[in-house]
Amino acid sequence: MRTRRFMQLDVFSDRPLLGNPLAVVIDGDGLDDLTMQAFARWTNLSETTFLLPPTRIDADYRVRIFTPRQELPFAGHPSVGSAYAAIESALVASGKCELVQECAAGLLPVRIEGGGSERIIHVQAPPARLHTPDASEAARVAQALRVDPAQMRMRLVDNGPRWLVCDLHDAADVRQLQPDLTLIAAISQAIGAIGISVFGREPAGAAAMAVRAFCPADGIPEDPVTGSANAAIMAFLADAGDPAGYGLRYRASQGREVGRDGCVEVTRDAATGAISIGGACAMGIRGELQLD
């Protein structure tokens, strides 16, 4: 059997055992879809990625992203972590500060700041499409979150995966949530969403925004730190308006409630509207695997 290089990282943290874990198969060429999906089920992480030679001349590498249940066109922490793995495994030239990732959602710019343990990787998310759910849909989501629907703003945001994004206004309300995960799974499956993301502001905290993401339909009761959900939140703010001034840049705290506290830098370009998510990575495992 062919030996393939493998890494397991913690993304959106500069220290191991925090952030969001990611499995990366470096030499993914030659594996079929069923094997990739089976391996993602086996790792049982929220996402597993496979690095492949690009099919586009203007891309530096290609990535395929799998949850234990399905392939995703884009996801944030797998994109940040895959760029880190491509650099660490020398799939891309050392010292490059601008990369292009090819994925099912298209070609995405990647920007690298710093190096070594201080390296921060920023990935541009695909453009988002937003929809305002009707009152009955909003009421069902509020029931699942166990909050008053009058205190919640909501959008359906599609930036590769589809997220139900809910503004609960205050970080304290986000952190104390005890949602109905069975109902969240049913809602997600009914509308083809990956889950529900909630956020609230925390101006006095080390991070300005508290975020949580619930994805029980994919076997992930609560995702530790979620790049695509944070990009979806920024798209929500740009669409709905944000008088508190979070509409161009903020730092999000996510994962504290599941013991995986991580940090996401979220930015929106005022001229183009392009949204990027960024963070650090910490190496956990580097080795080889037998997979065919």
Which of 138, 136, 79, 145 minimizes the C-alpha distance to 107? 79
Q: Residue ranges of the alpha helices (H) in the chain?
A: 33-43, 76-88, 135-145, 171-175, 181-191, 227-240
- 154 beta partners: 166
Interhelix angle 135-145/181-191, rounded to 10 degrees, is 150
Residue 213 and residue 226 in contact, taking contact as beta carbons nearer than 8 Å:
yes
Concerning whether 47 is annotated as a catalytic residue, the answer is yes
With b meaning 16 or more CB within 10 Å and e meaning fewer, what string describes 271-289? eeeebbbbbbbbeeeeeee
Q: Which residues contact 146 (CB under 8 A, 6 or more apart)?
A: 177, 178, 179, 180
Residue labelled with tokens 């740009």 = 238
Catalytic residue among 47, 88, 222, 265: 47
Q: How many Cβ atoms from other residues are within 10 Å of residue 71's Cβ?
A: 14
- 96 beta partners: none
Catalytic residues: 47
